[in-house]
Amino acid sequence: METKVSLIRKRILDREPHSEEGLGKVMVKYFSYLLWGASLLLSFPKGLYAQSQSGTVPLPTLFAQLETEMGLTFSFAPDLLFQFSIVPPASDLAREEYLLALQEATPFKYEVVDDKYVLVSPRPVDFTFQMEEEDTQLALPGGYVKQNGQYLPVTGDADGAIRFRVDWNPQDTLEFNFVGFEPQKLPILEALTTKNRTVAMELSTTVLAPVVVQSYLGAGISAFQQNQRLELRPDEMGVLPGDADKDLLVSLRNLPGIHTTTGLAGDLRIRGGTPDMTLILFNNIPIYHRGYYFGTISPFNTDMVDKVQVYRNGYGPELGGRVGGAIEISSEAKVPTQWQAGVSGNAVAASAYVKAPLIPEKLGLKVAGRASYPGNYSPLVEQEYNAMILSATPLQARAQSPSFEIDPFRFDYEDVNGTLTFTPRPGTTVNVDGLAIFNENVVPHRSLRSGQYTEDIDKIYNTGLNLSWDQHWGAWQGNSFLTYSDFQSHAFAGQRDLDDETLSLLYSGRVNAITSWRARSSWGRVLSDLQDQLTFGYEWNWNESTNLKYDSADATPRGSSDRLRKEKDERPPRPGMGDNPPPVSNDTEGRDEISSVHSLFAQYSHPSWNKLALDLGLRLSYFEQGEELRLEPRVFLNYTISDPWVVKGSVGSYSQYLGVDLNYTYNHLDENQFAWNTLAGGRMGRGLMTGTQAQVGFLWQSTSWLVDVEGYWKRAQGITATLSRVQGGGLELLDGMLRSRGVDMLVRTSQGPLDVWASYTLSLTENTFEELAIGWFPSLYDQRHLFNISGVVHWGNLRASLGWYLHGGVPDYSVDGPLPDAIEFSREVPIVPQAWTNVDRNPWTHQLDASVRYSFERGPLRTTLGVSVQNVYNQNNILNINRVFPSMDEDDFVYLPQTLIGFTPNFMLKVEYRK
């Protein structure tokens, strides 16, 4: 005999596409619901959520009567109470008994102060709801519930009943979830006032992945067993230390195993890998932009982000192209259910967004944009950015001379994101996504000795389009997309006499560009129990990378870059130079390189098999230019020993065909350090980068505690670095390897309104290059010890967080290092390889960050205020000591400290409208 659950599962696995008749019935049903809801609203006073019954009295009216009869004064928020009406307790009760009866009849507690005043506030409430399938009314056992995006530590029983107790606020929302069904949201006020305790669940067009840890670092951050990924939901996340504005990349560095050595948001390193080893996708569009203002600000607008999936231990076979981790950023692929708009601002930029159901349930539009403030507005946050970016650079070395001055930096950025969603019928969704990212950095300086004013200018673009199609047909699920991405980085300089107004090209500039096309089609079938799934597909990647150098002669580039010759007349105008692009010379050196990759992939996922959860993947890739064929297996395992204990592991093989050369000096102002190159079949002798990584660990969790420990090992072959050649100048391309191993540990506890977590990482990341013959040595950005402790507390609509970190120092390359510092500016200094037997390290760094955010609602408006501070006690953190040559014409060098960010306050204000 089939059970209730098996009947439901069978309906999902065997259901046919919706017929026109079925669709009509669905429309009639929802239209009936609409008429019923409208009649209900018209039947009661405005703002009254609970249905009045004979003999009931609104609480504010009852309190007014009690103040007269009992001589009490009630203190309460009118907006909180006007929705509740009750039958008054017996009037002959004593005062204490009467208040106790009130407390039992309402979701409030009544605290008497000074024998006269009564403080009315929400009290913990016990709920019992019955979860059932909408059409068949079959009970759904094992459901779970979230409050404001945070999972509650309960599951439904065998009869579908789910029982829980919550502390609540009027703005709270409950969300009921069951695998294979659409989540159902219920405002807390409606849950408190309704007598209907049944939650009707609708069949979903997707299969929900099982959750291992529901609140990894608090609300909005969860861990999934499939491919062992972490998932962030910005709308549900609390405030994180030093980040009241929810900068995406800043949020990610709170996760164990992810950190930024330099403190820049765009310098994320996942378990020892370099930033270019992490694949970043925004709605399937590859992102090569490292962040605004030399990487300090994320180029992603959180108003357009529904979820962020983070892969620290490698990733499944459906992704490829990097040997480290992956970050998938996605907008919500659904038609908005209501009109929504918002405007916001912080110390450096303003933004706005609109989400609109153009045709309800059929066509929806989401658009968002950001822009930095115009002019030379320079708040404290920008001043601190300037100091951090300038530290330990040749420009700072030159500024030590009294005849050289640096003016305040200027930076501008804008981005626009949009998504058009079309749902012609249930189970079919078409999305068109677009993004345009632009920023310009200007570093002005003047030499009083030569009488020259110079501007070093960087312009960076990243644009993209994505067309995707999702189809769910019974047990089958299909996804196909085509994306286009265009990245350009232009670095050049302009100069004029101090008494002149017109800039002209001064010296050599550089253009780094990547054009990418990406197409993928995959199909998967649910095999059994709503969870087992087999997926297979094909992916094609095509990339053209350009690296072009030019000098100041007025000539056309010769025979090196077809792309730049075609675009010579279309290059963006330079500020102060009119509409003409800077001229380039016959000595221009550059290249176009193309890579094309064809991949087949397959994955089998089984979330529960005798306590074993298993993900098996295989990716077969052919690299046309290098004529290489690679087979890359990937395995992810989770085994539940007992209820609180889970052991886990993974191993996988990966490859990378685009990358950035390693540099062994820190210079944030040098965009050449971040130039992308084609690796597979490249003309400079670069080869395909390949890598293997593995991890093993365990997880223990209880109702209020979580312990997560993972040991990892990573190795990448084919990394490249550029160093000065021996006497005679030029650059030498070195081919080498990277290896990293370490342990990440996390302890988190939730105690009522307080979430506290502490993480510690012990790691070692090393490089080796055969040409140097010095063996393995610590990477420039290697940090052995990383310790963080943070706490988030929430009182009603107030969220506050505090976080402190203590990080070990990076290796000191300035004295007795494996590589000579004199390589800066490609100086003609011989390389003298030497074994690094005594590794000195720079000082430890530490700082305290804090954030506070408060939200309140008035009718359809929701307002959020926030303040954040980085480095609260203004610790002077020195990351490194650089040996710097002020200019190419000087032989003497100076030692300068590279500092991290100082005391930096920021604010945010956001106003949203929902109808």
- Give pLDDT tens digits for 391-402: 888 888 888 888
How far apart are the two ends of the chain, measured CA to CA in Å? Answer: 48
User: Is the confidence at residue 13, as pLDDT, over 70?
Assistant: no
User: Residue 52 has what pLDDT?
Assistant: 39
- Helices 59-70 and 95-105 pack at an angle, to 10 degrees, of 170
Fold annotation for 57-122: Phage tail protein beta-alpha-beta fold (3.55.50)
What is the per-residue DSSP string for 655-718? Answer: EESEEE-B-SS--TT-GGGG-EEE-TT-TTS---EEEEEEEEEEEEE-SSEEEEEEEEEEEEEE
Task: Return the SS3 of 726.
Answer: coil
- 84/899: higher pLDDT: 899
The pLDDT assigned to 149 comes to 75
Q: Are 623 and 612 in contact (CB under 8 A)?
A: no
Q: pLDDT, tens digit, for every residue of 478-508?
A: 999 999 999 999 888 887 777 776 666 555 6
Residue 218 to residue 233: CA distance in whole angstroms: 11
Please state the length of the chain: 915
Any residues with CB less than 8 A from the CB of 647 and at least 6 apart, and which? 638, 639, 641, 696, 697, 698, 699
Tokens read off for 96: 């204490």
How far is 910 from 384, CA to CA, in rounded Å? 24
Instruction: List pLDDT tens digits, range 804-843.
Output: 999 999 988 765 555 544 334 334 444 555 556 667 888 9
Look at residue 608 in the predicted model and tell me its pLDDT. Answer: 66
Residue 278's pLDDT band, with cuts at 50, 70 and 90, is very high
Question: DSSP state, 2?
Answer: -
Q: Is the pLDDT of residue 572 over 80?
A: no
* Confidence label for 579 from pLDDT (cuts 50, 70 and 90): very low
Which pTM was predicted?
Answer: 0.77
Decide: helix, strand or coil at residue 118: strand
pLDDT band at residue 160, thresholds of 50, 70 and 90? confident
Answer whether 139's CB lies under 8 Å from 178's CB. Answer: no
Query: pLDDT digits over 211-241, tens only?
Result: 566 667 777 788 887 778 888 888 877 788 8
CATH 2.40.170.20 segments of the chain: 292-914
Burial of 709 (0-12, 13-18, 19+ CB in 10 A): middle
Portions of the chain given CATH number 3.55.50.30: 57-122
3-state secondary structure at position 4: helix
Binned at pLDDT 50, 70 and 90, residue 582 comes out as very low
Integer Cα distance of 512 and 563 in angstroms: 11
395: its two tokens: 């420009």
Range with top average pLDDT, 271-285, 577-591, 603-617, 817-831: 271-285
Q: What is the pLDDT of residue 680?
A: 64
What pLDDT shows up at residue 529? 55
* Average pLDDT of the segment spanning 735-745: 94
Higher pLDDT, 113 or 888: 113
pLDDT class of 30 with cuts at 50, 70, 90:
very low
C-alpha distance from residue 772 to each of 315, 379, 437, 737, 782 (Å): 33, 46, 40, 12, 19
- pLDDT over threshold 90, residue 37: no
Which pLDDT tens digit goes with each residue over 688-714?
899 999 999 999 888 788 899 999 999
Query: How high is the mean pLDDT of the chain?
Result: 80
Whole-angstrom Cα distance, residue 207 to residue 528? 11
Those residues with Cβ within 8 angstroms of residue 389's Cβ, 6 or more apart along the chain or in another chain: 293, 294, 296, 409, 668, 669
- Per residue in 291-318, pLDDT (tens digit) is 888 888 888 888 999 989 999 989 999 9
What pLDDT shows up at residue 837? 60
Residue type at 235 in one-letter notation: D
Round to whole Å and give the CA distance between 140 and 4.
Answer: 8
Say what the pLDDT of residue 598 is. 97
pLDDT above 50 (res 42)? no
Instruction: Give residue 116's pLDDT.
Output: 83
Instruction: Give the Å distances, CA to CA, from 214 to 219, 230, 249, 256, 416.
Output: 8, 10, 21, 16, 32
* Residue-level pLDDT at 209: 54
* Confidence band of 11 (pLDDT split at 50, 70, 90): very low
What pLDDT sits at residue 85? 81
What distance in Å separates the CA atoms of residue 235 and residue 246, rounded to the nearest whole number?
9
What is 292-914's CATH number?
A: 2.40.170.20
